[in-house]
Amino acid sequence: MGKKVFGVDVGGTSVKMGLFTEEGELLEKWEIPTRTEDNGNNILPDIAASIKSRMDAAGLAEEDVAGIGISVPGPVDAQGVIHKCVNLGWGVFDIDKEMRKHIDVPVFAGNDANAAALGEVWKGGGKGCRDVVVVTLGTGVGGGIIVNGKVLTGSIGAGGEIGHIHMFDDESEECGCGNRGCLEQYASATGIARLARRRLEKDNMPSSIRGVSSINAKVVFDAVKEGDRLACEVAEEFGEILGKGLSIIADVTNPEVFVIGGGVSKAGKVVLDYIEKYYTRYVFHGSRDTRFALATLGNDAGIYGSAKLVLDGVERS
Amino acid sequence: MGKKVFGVDVGGTSVKMGLFTEEGELLEKWEIPTRTEDNGNNILPDIAASIKSRMDAAGLAEEDVAGIGISVPGPVDAQGVIHKCVNLGWGVFDIDKEMRKHIDVPVFAGNDANAAALGEVWKGGGKGCRDVVVVTLGTGVGGGIIVNGKVLTGSIGAGGEIGHIHMFDDESEECGCGNRGCLEQYASATGIARLARRRLEKDNMPSSIRGVSSINAKVVFDAVKEGDRLACEVAEEFGEILGKGLSIIADVTNPEVFVIGGGVSKAGKVVLDYIEKYYTRYVFHGSRDTRFALATLGNDAGIYGSAKLVLDGVERS
């Protein structure tokens, strides 16, 4: 029997956990609440206790476990040192050292967006590819760049911050990062809703989304599927901005495939079609054959990627 | 005595060659003409003959040579297969296999822009750094992205094509690649000259560069150093476009340093100042501390990088 691996994805409200085989089969998954009070001091002990109880239930000793992979909402350096997770109340510390106080199993940590990307490349929409860009269209726009099978973290862990590439000079509103004209101001779920509201205000074109109390990306793409002209214009605008942005990323990294995930991607292939139309127009010919695929792991991408951190880490050491 | 390494940089008119120690000391360098006639069939035999004659002169046997690194003006895949070099008349072939017909020493090949970048990281402006973007401002804008010490080649060798990232929607002239609004239409030596001509045509502002018969990047930056107002405006425009483009590249790859080389960089630190001014304005805060440095190896970057290809290849195999 091969060893088992735990994949842990620490979010601001819940910790997702999975027990995997070394081949990447997800045997079971569960969640526990994230206790962020008291500077998040309970989070790691809670994780350790939950894992130990599953190990007991499954009859696993510490030597049966190859490791625990933990992805966190913040930067993690190559030595596994966490550099502040504001949402968890965490400062700077060595996560393996902290976890070892509770459970004697090797720990490998990574940033959550990067881990989710690694998960999609391992077992999801980018399976079998070595050079992949995973784009998560959620509240913001997240990115995970996989180069030759490994996450591109960059010199200080700020690689893959594709939501903040500068797209427009004449944007009047500020992005959460303090700049103006960032990609995620237009291509995130929030961004699409904003594009829709702006379009609605422009004139009186009739539209099924006019008068909808809370316009979101789903409302827009549902209307697109019904052929609503105004919604289609919004989708074109979204596709042009994101397609152009991704063309630039491809000129730099030349991926085999873009994997598109996050809430917006739930609208399905229509989202890819709008992006690809403009991507092809703007990209350098060397990356014109890059494919577009939907993410397939959904909320489990993080636990898959965290488990993969263990396997890559064990292989490296 | 450690082994020796040959670094070879094949250009369209001449082949630059260097003999190195394994520590990267350049012992001697020389050039031979590139014979592109007859589908470039003489180029590799010429290189082999030249290397053999140097080996004889230096009393080196084949076992004293760790390998020959060859950089070529075209894509090279991870297996050392050349995928067409239009300027040389070359098609698709395995360069190690071809060279072994003439000399029994391992051959490692790479793309010339990437090799030059590797050279600058090894012994030039990016020395000591693991994550570097080398930007060559010559006739075009070339790029070499170094991630964790290795060249990012991308899935089909089209990584680092930063000269063709899309910067402007309303460009009327076509770039050599067939698109419109590529970075190199503004930030290359040719691009700067074009910005200057456009600025001169705009109005009658007096300028020392007005009436100069062949305006080039040197003319513009010489005038900038003299305080010429129109030339300074051109430099601002250049700096804004390139600084914005590099900010996007940093958001994706988070380098420790940008190394700026090529003919334009000969104007010196003033070039970096104009780029940095705008880079800082547009980049995501995670990459705000990325440094800018001038390339230091000049035309030798290619032979240094080619030699490094050998050392990296030998280490890998």
Same domain, B280 and B136: yes
Same domain, B92 and B138: no
pLDDT in tens, chain A (317 residues): 689 999 999 998 999 999 999 999 999 999 999 999 999 999 999 999 999 999 999 999 999 999 999 999 888 877 888 888 888 999 999 999 999 999 999 999 998 889 999 999 999 999 999 999 999 999 899 999 999 999 998 998 889 999 999 999 999 999 989 999 999 999 999 999 999 999 999 999 999 999 999 999 999 999 999 999 999 999 999 999 999 999 999 999 999 999 999 999 999 999 999 999 999 999 999 899 999 999 999 999 999 999 999 999 876 55
Residues 162-181 of A with CB under 8 A from B: 162, 164-166, 177-179
pLDDT at site A86:
83
Closest CA of chain A from B57, distance in Å: 41
Category of B36 on φ-ψ map: left (φ > 0), alpha (ψ -120 to 50) or beta: alpha
Residues A72 and B115: their CA atoms lie apart, in Å, by: 36
Compute and round to an integer the Cα radius of gyration of chain A: 21
Range of the domain at B145: 129-296
In this structure, the strands spanning A14-21 and A26-33 are: antiparallel
Q: Is the pLDDT of residue B317 over 80?
A: no
pLDDT at site A76:
84
pLDDT at site B172:
95
pLDDT at site B81:
86
Tell me which DSSP letter residue A137 carries: E
pLDDT at site B121:
96
In a domain, B274, yes or no: yes
Same domain, A304 and A285: no
Q: Count CB atoms within 10 A of the CB of residue A8.
A: 27
Same domain, A155 and A277: yes
Name every chain A residue with its beta carbon within 8 A of the beta carbon of B244: 166
Query: How big is the A-B interface in CB pairs under 8 Å?
Result: 132
Name every chain A residue with its beta carbon within 8 A of the beta carbon of B150: 148
Residues 55-114 of A with CB under 8 A from B: none
Closest CA of chain B from A172, distance in Å: 15
Q: Three-state SS string across B15-84, please?
A: EEEEEEECCCCEEEEEEEECCCCHHHCCHHHHHHHHHHHHHHHHCCCHHHEEEEEEEECCCECCCCEEEE
Q: How many domains does chain B have?
A: 2
In a domain, A122, yes or no: no
Q: For A133-184, what is each residue's pLDDT tens digit?
A: 999 999 899 999 999 999 998 998 889 999 999 999 999 999 989 999 999 9
Q: Is the pLDDT of residue B202 over 90?
A: yes
* Pick from A110, A94, A152: nearest CA to B130: A152
Q: For A175-221, what is each residue's pLDDT tens digit?
A: 989 999 999 999 999 999 999 999 999 999 999 999 999 999 999 99
In a domain, A138, yes or no: yes
pLDDT at site A317:
52
Inform me whether the C-beta atom of residue B145 falls under 8 Å from chain A C-beta atoms.
yes
In a domain, A278, yes or no: yes
Percent of chain B with pLDDT over 90: 85
In a domain, A124, yes or no: no
Distances from the Cα of B160 to the Cα of A157, A261, A286, B163, angstroms: 20, 25, 10, 8
In a domain, A21, yes or no: yes
In a domain, A171, yes or no: yes
Which of B252, B278, B290 should we substitute to test contact with A (largest number of A Cβ atoms within 10 Å)?
B252
Same domain, A174 and A50: no
pLDDT at site A156:
85
* A278 phi, psi to nearest 5 deg: -90, -30
Same domain, A54 and A172: no
Of A131, A155, A161, the CB nearest to B251: A161
In a domain, B122, yes or no: no
pLDDT at site B82:
87
Same domain, A134 and A214: yes
Inform me whether the C-beta atom of residue A145 falls under 8 Å from chain B C-beta atoms.
yes
Residues B144 and B287: their CA atoms lie apart, in Å, by: 18
Same domain, A197 and A308: no
Same domain, A81 and A190: no
pLDDT at site A310:
95
Cβ atoms of residues A166 and B143 within 8 Å: no
Q: Is the pLDDT of residue B316 over 60?
A: no
Same domain, B182 and B51: no
Q: For B144-186, what is each residue's pLDDT tens digit?
A: 999 999 999 899 888 999 999 999 999 999 998 999 999 999 9
H helices of chain A, in order, are: 43-58, 95-100, 112-123, 184-187, 189-202, 217-225, 229-253, 269-282, 301-316
Same domain, A218 and A230: yes
Q: For B203-249, what is each residue's pLDDT tens digit?
A: 999 999 999 999 999 999 999 999 999 999 999 999 999 999 999 99
Closest CA of chain B from A121, distance in Å: 14
pLDDT at site B245:
98
CB contact under 8 A, B159 and A254: yes
Same domain, A158 and A257: yes
More confident of the two residues B276 and B114: B276
Average pLDDT score over chain B: 94
Per the DSSP assignment, residues forming a β-bridge with B292 are: B258
pTM for the whole structure: 0.91
Q: For B15-37, what is each residue's pLDDT tens digit?
A: 999 999 999 999 999 999 999 99
What CATH number did the domain enclosing A51 receive? 3.30.420.40
Inform me whether the C-beta atom of residue B280 falls under 8 Å from chain A C-beta atoms.
no
Q: Is A220 exposed, middle or buried (0-12, 13-18, 19+ CB in 10 A)?
A: buried
Predicted confidence band of residue B315 (pLDDT cuts 50, 70, 90): low
| Amino acid sitting at position A271 | V
pLDDT at site B102:
96
